[in-house]
Every structure is written in C-alpha cells, then in structure tokens.
Amino acid sequence: MSAPNRTASISRTTSESSIELTLDLDGTGQSTIDTGVPFYDHMLTAFARHSLCDLTITATGDLHIDIHHTVEDTAISLGQAIKQALGNKAGITRYGDAHVPLDDALARAVIDISGRPYLVHTGEPDGFALHKIGGHFTGSLVRHVFEAIALNADLTVHVTVLDGRDPHHIAEAEFKAFARAFGKAISFDPRVTGIPSTKGAL
C-alpha cells in the first residue's frame, strides 16, 4: 500500500495581504520563504528545516501599515495547509514533544494532532511581547503565529519558554521546538492501524 500524498497548496487574498503557499509534510526540510518580513522568513525557514517539511511561501501585504496582517495571514494559510495535507490522519504518531535550547534560551513544545484547536503559551519573560526583534518583528507575534496555526490546523499546542534572556534566541527556540514536536506528531507509526484515537476520528 503506497503512502498518501500529504501535500497542500493554499492561495489566500484579502485587502491586507496575498499569500501563495505550498507544503509537503514528507519532505526533507527544504524551503523558499519570502514574506517581506525578514525575521519571520528566518523563523519559517527554521520551522521547515526542523520539521523536515518542504515549504514554499510568497506573501505580499500592507507592510507600510504594520507587519501584523502579513504575519497573521501567512500563519492562517500555513494552518490551513497543514490541515489539508494531513488528510484523515490515518497511521500518524499523533503526539509530539521537544525541548530545544538556543544558547541562553530553552523552549518546550508539545503537540497533539487532536482535531481540537487549543493553544497554551507561557513563560516568555516580561517585556518580550513589546520587544522588536530585528527592529520589526514584535515579540507578541510569536504567540499570534502559534495561535493562528493551531486554530486553523485543529492542533492542540503547548509552548513553554523555560529559560531565556535574548529575545531573538527565545523566539527561535520556540519555533524550533514547535517544529521538532510537529515533525514527530505527523510522522507515521508502523504499529498504528487507521486513526490513532479510541473515537475513530481526529
């Protein structure tokens, strides 16, 4: 029995942004990312690399107003692509967890491909939400990205910052932990038959 084709393509256009995105859950971590927001490109590249998904994103938006709309709409599109690519979720591991350090920072992520969207996001230090990483990416957007992905992909996500001083390192550790946990959760478990739920559906 051949493996399913776990890919998705999303086009999303609003008055604030235009997103073209392709995702292959069974890739090798290759990516081409251009959102017009350099630090976000860096984080999404890290997500692809450490989840071993292939990801292509081209996004344009009203960056002259704020990067918020483009960041949010890209995360919404990524969540939609994840949900589409997962299909019926047969044979997946379902749960994934990871601890990732980056120098002073340490983050933990735990993911359940549950079909029930929920985010618990804690531990970022005081002032992080207001800090502009790279002069343009406000720290508060990190939670916003995870929230948009979780809600649109129907994932239960817990992300916890356990330690950290440098905002860049904290954000990057969070994204990498999320990526590693996600890569585990979407992987196939050869012992699993059908949907990994006692309810028979996710």
Interval 87-137: pLDDT, tens: 999 999 999 999 999 999 999 999 999 999 999 999 999 999 999 999 999
Query: Is residue 137, in this structure, part of any structural domain at all?
Result: yes
Supply the Cα-derived Rg of the chain in whole angstroms.
16
Number of domains in the chain: 1
Could you tell me the CATH number of the domain that includes residue 61?
3.30.230.40
Q: What is the mean pLDDT of residues 49-71?
A: 97
Query: Is residue 194, in this structure, part of any structural domain at all?
Result: no
Q: What is the mean pLDDT of residues 11-24?
A: 97
Mean per-residue pLDDT over the chain, rounded: 96
Query: Is residue 1, in this structure, part of any structural domain at all?
Result: no
pLDDT confidence band for 75 (50 / 70 / 90): very high
pLDDT digits (tens, 9 = 90+) for 140-175: 999 999 999 999 999 999 999 999 999 999 999 999
pLDDT of 197 reads 86
Q: State how far the Cα of 93 lies from the Cα of 87, in Å rounded to an integer.
A: 14
Q: Lowest-pLDDT range, 84-88, 141-145, 192-196?
A: 192-196
In this prediction the pTM is 0.96
Query: Is residue 200, in this structure, part of any structural domain at all?
Result: no
Q: State how far the Cα of 135 lies from the Cα of 151, in Å rounded to an integer.
A: 28
Query: Is residue 193, in this structure, part of any structural domain at all?
Result: no
Closest Cα partner for 104 from 181, 198, 167, 14?
167
**pLDDT of 1 over the 70 cut:** no
pLDDT of 195 reads 85
Query: Is residue 201, in this structure, part of any structural domain at all?
Result: no
pLDDT of 2 reads 54
Domain range spanning residue 165?
7-186
Is there a contact between 78 and 33 (Cβ–Cβ < 8 Å)?
no
Query: Is residue 33, in this structure, part of any structural domain at all?
Result: yes
Alpha helix locations (H) across 25-105? 38-51, 68-86
Q: What is the mean pLDDT of residues 9-30?
A: 97
**pLDDT of 36 over the 90 cut:** yes
pLDDT of 185 reads 98
Which are the contacts of 28, defined by CB distance < 8 A and separation ≥ 6?
52, 54
Query: Is residue 142, in this structure, part of any structural domain at all?
Result: yes
